């Protein structure tokens, strides 16, 4: 660990160029341990989704090598994590034929790549690629458990046709209960988790009856992963945003605000005398993202583009980013601000509304642990 966390801090939060990502190591570690323990108690393998973190430094903590199994959302992530030593990688987005050359290169390099398929044409292309390139994939058929994104309904006749097309590549079924984000409490998350598990069990039973036993039944979303659910027959659990959490997840009750490990460090660049309850920061829609998912929550949970913390990471009640432009964010306070509060040049930290797109705007994390000392810089892999 000494190379990751040098004895002397590389900088303090006061010295960093803004805007940038600040990651609380202690909260990250607590979130990772809690979710790993949750999966262990449920008796399923845990396969963290790196779509949010996109960092080998974080993956080393979330899915330690050599046996760590991970989920990714892009082939660039798969290539990056393969380069850093991971071998058991699930690409959890429907694999289009255009991505097969890169997928085959990963398989040739020794990656045990699981891919997602929900269409006979994709299945045919994958099997043909495996034959021509003399590589193997584990192909999981995507099941739509209610999200209406990708996937086949569990009762779909096409399910068996896709498995037949995959032949020996068929390895099981996967689903993502993204509809859990519409729930607002533990009972709702449990209902969503039951829908996920039921859909996989129905699909796997039909496939088994047709001669295709599933080695993998993979499901998950952060709210359903923490929910009480009967996971009998399910082999693995996935989740991603739980590593950092965010204002949306806290707003729906999937975590506490104090669990949010990620923030955007910003400088106050405007303090208009004629608008006494407002100030401008140098984190706008590019640094925070345009995601306004919390607008669908009750007013007190509506973070706008993010709730505001002081430099130590303490939430400042009543302050939120209400408007953004490309490189400006407007912070508005519910109550009057003291004239000398938040002077130009002072710094705040913004808790993201939705951690995934906020993190994606940045190329690295500055890691702290409860104070202003920057312990490490962890790069991210963005793009495709």
Q: Which stretch binds a copy of itself (CB under 8 A): 216-224, 245-253, 340-348, 371-379?
A: 340-348
Examine residue 145 and tell whether it contacts a copy of itself (CB under 8 A).
no
- Residues in 286-315 at the binding interface with a copy of itself, rule: CB under 8 A: 286-287, 289-292
Distance CA 278, CA 337 (A): 8
Given a contact cutoff of 8 angstroms between Cβ atoms, the answer to whether 224 and 178 are in contact is no
Cα–Cα distance for residue pair 229/217, rounded to 1 Å: 15
Q: Name which position in 40, 109, 312, 344 contacts a copy of itself (CB under 8 A).
A: 344
285 belongs to the binding site for a copy of itself (CB under 8 A):
yes
Residue 49 per-residue DSSP state: B
Residue 51 binding a copy of itself, by CB under 8 A: yes
CB of 203 to a copy of itself, least distance (A): 15
The nearest distance, CB 343 to a copy of itself, in angstroms, is 6
Q: Note the maximum CA span of the chain.
A: 73
Distance CA 182, CA 6 (A): 42
Q: How far, in Å, CA of 301 to CA of 322, rounded?
A: 13
Q: Say how many Å lie between the first and final Cα of the chain, rounded.
A: 30
Does residue number 188 form part of the binding site for a copy of itself (CB under 8 A)?
A: no
Q: Decide: 244 and 51 in contact? Cβ < 8 Å.
A: no
96 contributes a contact to a copy of itself by CB under 8 A: yes
Site string for a copy of itself, 152-171 (x = CB under 8 A): xx--x-x-------------
Per CB under 8 A, contacts with a copy of itself among 208-267 are 267
Q: Are 137 and 144 within 8 A, CB to CB?
A: no
Which lies closer to a copy of itself via its Cβ, residue 126 or residue 231? Answer: 126
Reference 168, options 127, 111, 114; nearest CA is 127
Query: Which residues form the interface with a copy of itself (CB under 8 A)?
Result: 17-20, 51, 73-75, 93-99, 102, 118-119, 121-122, 125, 148-150, 152-153, 156, 158, 178, 267-275, 280, 282, 285-287, 289-292, 323, 325-328, 330, 343-345, 347, 356-357, 360-363, 382-384
């Amino acid at each position: 660990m000494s190379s990751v966390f040098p004895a002397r801090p590389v900088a303090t939060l006061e010295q960093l160029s803004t805007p940038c990502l600040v990651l609380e190591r202690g909260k990250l570690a607590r979130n990772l341990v809690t979710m790993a323990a949750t999966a262990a108690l449920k008796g399923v393998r845990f396969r963290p989704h790196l779509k949010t973190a996109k960092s080998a430094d974080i993956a080393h903590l979330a899915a330690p090598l050599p046996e760590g199994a991970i989920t990714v959302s892009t082939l660039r992530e798969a290539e990056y994590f393969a380069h850093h030593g991971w071998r058991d990688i699930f690409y959890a987005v429907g694999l289009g034929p255009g991505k097969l050359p890169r997928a085959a290169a990963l398989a040739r390099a020794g990656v045990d790549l699981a891919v997602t398929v929900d269409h006979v044409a994709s299945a045919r292309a994958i099997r043909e690629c495996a034959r021509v390139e003399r590589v193997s994939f584990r192909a999981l058929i995507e099941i739509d458990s209610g999200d209406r994104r990708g996937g086949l309904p569990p009762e779909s006749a096409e399910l068996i046709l896709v498995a037949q097309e995959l032949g020996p590549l068929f390895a099981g079924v996967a689903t993502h209960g993204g509809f859990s984000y519409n729930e607002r409490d533990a009972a709702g998350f449990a209902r969503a988790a039951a829908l996920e598990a039921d859909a996989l069990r129905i699909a796997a039973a039909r496939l088994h009856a047709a001669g295709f036993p599933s080695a993998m039944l993979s499901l998950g979303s952060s709210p359903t992963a923490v929910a009480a659910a009967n996971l009998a027959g399910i082999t693995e659990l996935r989740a991603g945003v739980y590593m950092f959490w965010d204002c949306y997840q806290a707003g729906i009750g999937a975590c506490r605000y104090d669990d949010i490990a990620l923030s955007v460090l910003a400088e106050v660049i405007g303090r208009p005398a004629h608008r006494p309850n407002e100030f401008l920061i140098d984190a706008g829609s590019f640094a925070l993202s345009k995601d306004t998912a919390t607008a669908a929550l009750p007013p007190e949970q509506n973070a706008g583009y993010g709730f505001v913390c002081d430099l130590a990471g303490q939430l400042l009640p009543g302050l939120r980013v209400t408007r953004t432009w490309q490189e400006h964010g407007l912070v508005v306070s519910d109550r009057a601000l003291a004239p000398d509060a938040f002077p130009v040049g002072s710094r705040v930290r913004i808790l993201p509304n939705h951690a995934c797109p906020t993190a994606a705007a940045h190329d690295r994390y500055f890691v702290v642990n409860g104070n202003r000392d920057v312990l490490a810089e962890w790069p991210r892999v963005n793009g495709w």
